[in-house]
Amino acid sequence: MNKKVMYIPLDERPCNYIYPKMIMDISDIEMIEPPLDMLGNKKSAADVDKLKDWIINNINDVSHLVVSIDMLLYGGIVPSRLHRMTYNECIKRLELIKELKTMNRNLKVYGFNLIMRSPSYNSSDEEPDYYEDYGEKIFQYGVLSDKLELNVAADEDISEYDKIKNQIPVDVLNDFLNRRRVNHLINLKVVDLVKEGIIDFLIIPMDDCSKYGFSARERRKIMKYISDLDLTDRIYSYPGADEVGCTLIARVFNELKDRKPTVFIRYSSEIGSTLIPRYEDRSLNETVKYHIISAGGVIIDSSSDADFILMVNPPSELTLKLSESWDSILSKIDIIDPERNLNEFVEALNYYISKGKLCSVADVAMPNGSDNQLMQLIKKYNLLKKLLSYGGWNTSSNTLGTVISHSMISSYYFSKNIFSQDQLIASEKFLYLRYLEDWGYQHFVRSSVTDLLGTYGLNYFTLKDKGKLISEIIKKKLYEFSEKNLNDFHYNFDVYMPWNRMFEVGIKIGG
């Protein structure tokens, strides 16, 4: 059988639908995914029945299936937080994976299924409507109940627990907890599928998690179950969500190439590597390890022997405390964080590249955008186009997953000196996309355009019927940014708003 991959994404956004395709396009392995119009739109679930038919019609042509079980069961990431399905209804849909293994007995299945998040803030943008009023209290209830279960609650936590619980309407809490119960039971059932040999490798990512809370408690129970079944080498669980498709695509690639990429890690701050990034539950250095081994790689102690060097720009105590961009912090307080040494970091980056080493930068100092101080230094050293990969978008794990996946696939062809011109261009386009989106849009353009929205009667969460107009404004500003900062790249691009809001942007890189 030809080596061909089928990919079923977590949802229809570019990070889940387009990034994995762009990364796999760098390779010589064919990947197919369902039509975009089959995948739903934010709170509107995908047409799961049509998706099932599409999968069945194509499954005999592929050797590997990378599948989001949230998509297969609930119709996407947001519908997984909104559905009212029973456990039995979910189990019926889950049976499809067994059917596929029967139809294609050589099929390898790499799956991922999230532990449902519970954000710490009030917003119904991606949650049930009641989360607009009770989201923060639901989160606090989860944290306090978890601490009580672990016997680590302080006296004030105990009194606060009763107070918070009484402030959440019973029907609201029951709806939220019932959905969590179903989703949690499904995660346990998916673990069973690994034990049965139906799923060959599984990631259970923790979406927007914290040290205590609903997600942490469920993860402990899942990991105990995994350990009891002796499956810890075939099932990983760590912070993440929107990058996992890329991670598993890279794992499939490495398996098909019979390869285990070696990675040397270097941080701009050793203390920063021990901090817990926002929206996550453990220190950065432990999460980095999981991202590398999940994608099929191994960490080594020698930069000279590594297939590529992963340069990580971690958060600091200051960036964790403040939600503003680093430049805004510097304009308000007269301090350069002494625990960050970006000069040495970029000097080392420049040295490695001058010696012919492949280097990637995972810029996770802040969520939702690049560290402009770092980027200006990389630009000053004329290294932007010389990086193997770059990322600085959304959460720390989102960035790590895409950077590592891109690096693993591109480094294979560089190391063997078999990069075709088309493959080289494909890799460069994804690098350019990351600069445009993570540095250009998320650090600069998003905030400047958000300031204009009131003029049009719009807000951050809805662009109403002005999505096209706003995307044209963003496009103009991004071209200006590119001409100023990225003039070594010569690609056209177009802009659209995938969920008709300001948080994410869609950028189509042309010729």
Radius of gyration (C-alpha) of the chain in whole angstroms: 22
In a domain, 242, yes or no: yes
Strand arrangement, sheet containing 201-203: 30-32, 4-8, 64-68, 108-112, 201-203, 235-236
Does pLDDT of 331 surpass 80? no
Give 298's strand partners. 262
* Percent above pLDDT 90 for the chain: 91
**Judgement on whether residues 366 and 472 belong to the same structural domain of the protein:** no
Q: How many Å apart are CA 99 and CA 6, to the nearest integer?
A: 16
Number of H helices, E strands in the chain: 19, 13
pTM for the whole thing? 0.96
Residue 419 or residue 204, greater confidence: 204
pLDDT of residue 334: 44
Q: Which tokens go with 427?
A: 């890799």
In a domain, 126, yes or no: no
Q: Are the beta carbons of 266 and 312 closer than 8 angstroms?
A: yes
Last residue of a domain, one of 366, 385, 418: 418
pLDDT, tens digit, 9 for 90 and up, residues 141-172 = 999 999 999 999 998 889 899 999 999 999 99
**Judgement on whether residues 137 and 227 belong to the same structural domain of the protein:** no
Last residue of a domain, one of 202, 232, 255: 255
Query: Based on the structure, what is the number of domains in the chain?
Result: 4
**Long-range contact pairs involving 54-59 (C-beta distance under 8 Å, separation at least 24):** 55/6, 55/8, 55/96, 55/100, 56/99, 56/100, 56/103, 58/6, 58/32, 59/6, 59/100, 59/103, 59/104, 59/107
pLDDT, tens digit, 9 for 90 and up, residues 81-119 = 999 999 999 999 999 999 999 999 999 999 999 999 999
Give 206's strand partners. 115, 239
The range of the structural domain enclosing residue 239 comes to 4-119+170-255
pLDDT of residue 335: 46
**Judgement on whether residues 446 and 368 belong to the same structural domain of the protein:** no
**Judgement on whether residues 159 and 196 belong to the same structural domain of the protein:** no
Helix (H, G, I), strand (E, B) or coil at 154: coil
- CATH no. for residue 223? 3.40.50
pLDDT, tens digit, 9 for 90 and up, residues 281-329 = 999 999 999 999 999 999 999 999 999 999 999 999 877 876 555 555 5
Phi, psi of 82 (to 5 degrees): -120, -20
Map 398-437 to HEC letters: HHHHHHHHHHHHHHHHHHHCCCCHHHHHHHHHHHHHHHHH
**Judgement on whether residues 73 and 195 belong to the same structural domain of the protein:** yes
**Judgement on whether residues 441 and 371 belong to the same structural domain of the protein:** no
**Judgement on whether residues 452 and 489 belong to the same structural domain of the protein:** yes
Q: Which tokens go with 266?
A: 């270097």
Q: Tell me the pLDDT of the chain averaged across its residues.
A: 95
Smallest CA-to-CA distance from 6 within 52, 48, 47 is with 52
**Judgement on whether residues 329 and 363 belong to the same structural domain of the protein:** yes
**Judgement on whether residues 328 and 345 belong to the same structural domain of the protein:** yes
**Judgement on whether residues 85 and 175 belong to the same structural domain of the protein:** yes
In a domain, 92, yes or no: yes
Q: Are the beta carbons of 34 and 10 closer than 8 angstroms?
A: no
In a domain, 124, yes or no: no
**Judgement on whether residues 38 and 185 belong to the same structural domain of the protein:** yes
Q: Which tokens go with 354?
A: 């001058």
**Judgement on whether residues 264 and 378 belong to the same structural domain of the protein:** yes
